[in-house]
């Protein structure tokens, strides 16, 4: 009798092991200090992954380029990046596709006493820009200035660099204005600096009034077909975690150590800007806005950012069918 009970127990344990092993594994590549870590931490804190239809395998990467390389090499199944890159990669035969995550964007920051009140006031000023010549915020700012007959390349003393270093340039008066990523802009805003323009302001100035997702989860379409239920469950849980971070103080508290600042004003502003970037359901209006944005970026970059394709490639946005 004891032997029979023992064998039954072993069989039961083995069956549980098989069931657990059958859960698909989602290998997610995330930036070591990216805001997607906030949601992952919230999912863990809220125990959302306990009953998930997948097993999450997180791979930390050093920078956006490393994430793209990891995805292309098959080292991870999914990363967070922009849909412009996805469309360009699809022109090469890749089957990457994009699921919206955030419409967060950068901001043009100046000191309150800078005397800079418009793009025209930037002429002959020192402008620090996060990234390089093909940074989307910089390209869109140039497009907006061009509408006002201002050539920022000719009339602004520009420098490019890493986001945290640029903040220091403004704080130490080595720059008159900076165009930086949203969370670095929020840090300056908390110190009393002001937004001259944010990403949504720039888009509206270009005639794009529909909020557009800038970042999203990117994965292979072939992978999505094989793991549709797991992906849908993952996106549902990330949305749930994101909403909890914005609606429940108790959910936000464990995230504070990840912000790397003890300043309460900065913490609150980071939360506000993060929550403002949540993507709502989108459809035809957003796709039309995406085509408009694509055309602007293609024109101002001389095809360098988008590639030579005249339109967004079919399949760029995941249809979840």
What pLDDT score does 1 carry?
Answer: 44
Q: Read off the pLDDT band of 20 (50, 70, 90).
A: very low
Residue 284 confidence (pLDDT) above 90:
no
Same domain, 20 and 95: yes
Tokens of 86: 């996805």
Would you tell me how many other CB atoms lie within 10 Å of the CB of residue 248?
A: 12
Q: Which pTM value belongs to this model? A: 0.89
Residue 319 lies in a domain: no
Residue 171 lies in a domain: yes
Q: What Å distances lie between residue 81 and 32, 63, 66, 241, CA to CA?
A: 14, 11, 11, 20
Same domain, 261 and 236: yes
Within 13 Å and on the Cβ side, how many CA atoms surround 200?
13
Same domain, 61 and 153: no
Same domain, 279 and 130: no
Residue 262 confidence (pLDDT) above 60:
yes
What pLDDT score does 238 carry?
Answer: 94
| Percentages of the chain per state (helix, strand, coil), in multiples of 5 | 50, 20, 30
Which of the two residues, 152 and 10, has the higher pLDDT score? 152
Q: What is the total count of domains within the chain?
A: 2
In which domain, by residue range, is 260 found?
A: 2-103+212-301
Same domain, 153 and 73: no
160, containing H or E segment: strand 157-161
Same domain, 128 and 245: no
| Percentage above 70 pLDDT, the chain | 93
Residue 21 confidence (pLDDT) above 70:
no
Q: Read off the pLDDT band of 91 (50, 70, 90).
A: very high
Residue 195 confidence (pLDDT) above 90:
yes
Q: What are phi and psi of 220, to 5 degrees?
A: -75, 140
- Among 141, 170, 205, the domain-final residue is 205
Same domain, 234 and 92: yes
DSSP secondary structure of 18-42: HHHHTSPEEEEEEETT-THHHHHHH
What residues form DSSP beta bridges with 31? 61
Which of the two residues, 282 and 311, has the higher pLDDT score? 311
Residue 223 lies in a domain: yes
- The answer to which of 6-10, 19-23, 211-215 has the lowest mean pLDDT is 6-10
Would you tell me how many other CB atoms lie within 10 Å of the CB of residue 247?
A: 10
Q: Read off the pLDDT band of 79 (50, 70, 90).
A: very high
What pLDDT score does 16 carry?
Answer: 45
What pLDDT score does 175 carry?
Answer: 97
Give the pairing of strands 157-161 and 78-82. Answer: unpaired
Residue 19 confidence (pLDDT) above 80:
no
We report the CATH number of the domain holding residue 123 as 3.40.190.10
| Percentage above 90 pLDDT, the chain | 79
Residue 313 lies in a domain: no
Q: What is the mean pLDDT of the chain?
A: 90
Helix axes 284-301, 136-147, angle to 10 degrees: 80
Q: For residue 279, how far is the Cα from the chain centroid?
A: 11
The CA-based diameter of the chain, rounded to the nearest angstrom, is 91
Residue 320 lies in a domain: no
Convert the pLDDT of each residue in 161-191 to its tens digit: 998 899 999 999 999 999 999 999 999 999 9
Same domain, 231 and 146: no
Same domain, 229 and 293: yes
Q: Are 271 and 245 in contact (CB under 8 A)?
A: yes
Residue 157 lies in a domain: yes
Same domain, 92 and 118: no
Q: Are 292 and 210 in contact (CB under 8 A)?
A: no
66, containing H or E segment: helix 64-73
Same domain, 112 and 51: no
Same domain, 129 and 94: no
Q: Are 166 and 110 in contact (CB under 8 A)?
A: no
């Amino acid at each position: 009798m004891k032997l029979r009970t023992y064998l039954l127990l072993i069989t039961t344990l083995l069956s549980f092991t098989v069931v657990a092993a059958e859960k698909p594994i989602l290998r997610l590549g995330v930036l070591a200090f990216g805001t997607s870590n906030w949601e992952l931490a919230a999912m863990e804190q809220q125990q959302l992954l306990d009953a998930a239809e997948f097993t999450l395998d997180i791979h930390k990467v050093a920078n956006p380029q490393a994430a793209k390389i990891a995805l292309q090499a098959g080292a991870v199944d999914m990363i967070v990046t922009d849909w412009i890159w996805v469309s360009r990669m699809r022109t090469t035969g890749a089957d990457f596709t994009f699921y919206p995550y955030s419409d967060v964007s950068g901001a043009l920051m100046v000191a309150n006493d800078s005397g800079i009140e418009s793009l025209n006031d930037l002429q002959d000023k020192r402008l620090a820009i996060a990234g390089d010549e093909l940074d989307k915020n910089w390209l869109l700012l140039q497009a907006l200035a061009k509408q006002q007959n201002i050539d920022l390349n000719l009339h602004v003393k520009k420098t490019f660099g890493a986001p945290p270093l640029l903040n220091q340039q403004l704080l130490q008066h080595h720059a008159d204005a900076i165009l930086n990523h949203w969370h670095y802009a929020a840090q300056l805003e908390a110190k009393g600096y002001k937004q001259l323009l944010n990403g949504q302001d720039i888009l509206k100035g270009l005639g794009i009034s529909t909020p557009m997702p800038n970042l999203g989860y990117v994965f292979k379409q072939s992978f999505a077909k094989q793991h549709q239920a797991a992906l849908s469950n993952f996106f549902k849980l990330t949305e749930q975690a994101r909403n909890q971070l914005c609606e429940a103080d108790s959910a936000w508290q464990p995230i504070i150590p990840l912000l790397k600042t003890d300043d309460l004003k900065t913490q609150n502003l980071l939360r506000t800007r993060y929550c403002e970037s949540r993507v709502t359901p989108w459809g035809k209006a957003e796709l039309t806005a995406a085509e408009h944005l694509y055309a602007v970026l293609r024109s101002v970059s001389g095809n360098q950012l988008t590639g030579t394709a005249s339109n967004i490639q079919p399949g760029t946005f995941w249809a979840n069918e």
